[in-house]
Structure 1
Amino acid sequence: MIVETVGALAIGLAVAWLALRRLPHRLPEPRLVGPTGAAGGLLGAFVTHTALGGAQPLVILGGALVMAVALLSLLVRPAGRRPVGRTARPA
């Protein structure tokens, strides 16, 4: 169980690092992205471990990967987002 926990944490942090490298302009500051990825990995491992039992560590790490990606996708902002309060009005 320790190996699954450390693996899930490493997967979450790796996904967060990859997201920061690929989409730095569409994510909030890294102090929020890193812990979100780690929490997603741990939560995904916990849910998968609870649902399937502890006999399948690779499946549990796959659940950690899926949940980390899902939580980080909630932080991504749209590409063409305008600042709040600035709307273009027709002339």
Structure 2
Amino acid sequence: MIVETVGALAIGLGVAWLALRRLPHRLPDPRLVGPTGAAGGLLGAFVTHTALGGAQPLAVLGGALVLAATLLSLLVRPAGRRPAARPARPA
């Protein structure tokens, strides 16, 4: 279980590092991206370990990878244009 935890943490940080290298202009501050990837990896490993039991460590690490990438995808901002300003409400 310790190996799964360390592996999930490494996967989460690795996915965060890769996202920062590939999409630096579309992500917020790196101080937010790193912990989000790490937390996603740990949470994904926990959920997968709970669902499958501890008999399949590669599946647990796969779950860590999927959830870390999913959480980091929520941080990605749209490319190009800025969001349009909302029209003022009539009084």
TM-score (norm 2): 0.90
Aligned to 1:40: 40
Aligned length: 87
Aligned to 2:65: 65
Deviations 1:7-53 (A, max 9, x none): 00000000000000000000001000000000000000000000000
Q: Which amino acid aligns with 1:54?
A: G
What are structure 1's unaligned runs of at least 5 residues? none
Q: Which amino acid aligns with 2:6?
A: V
- CA deviation after TM superposition for structure 1 residue 84, in Å: 6.9
Greater displacement, 10-19 / 74-83: 74-83
Identical counterparts, % of pairs: 88
* Per-residue deviation, 1:81: 3.3
Aligned to 1:51: 51
Q: Equivalent residue for 1:13?
A: 13
CA RMSD of aligned residues (A): 1.7
Q: What is the aligned partner in structure 2 of residue 26 from structure 1? A: 26
- Code of the residue aligned with 1:32 in structure 2: it is L
- What TM-score do the two structures reach when normalised by structure 1? 0.90
After TM superposition, what 4+ stretches of structure 1 lie above 2 angstroms from structure 2?
A: none
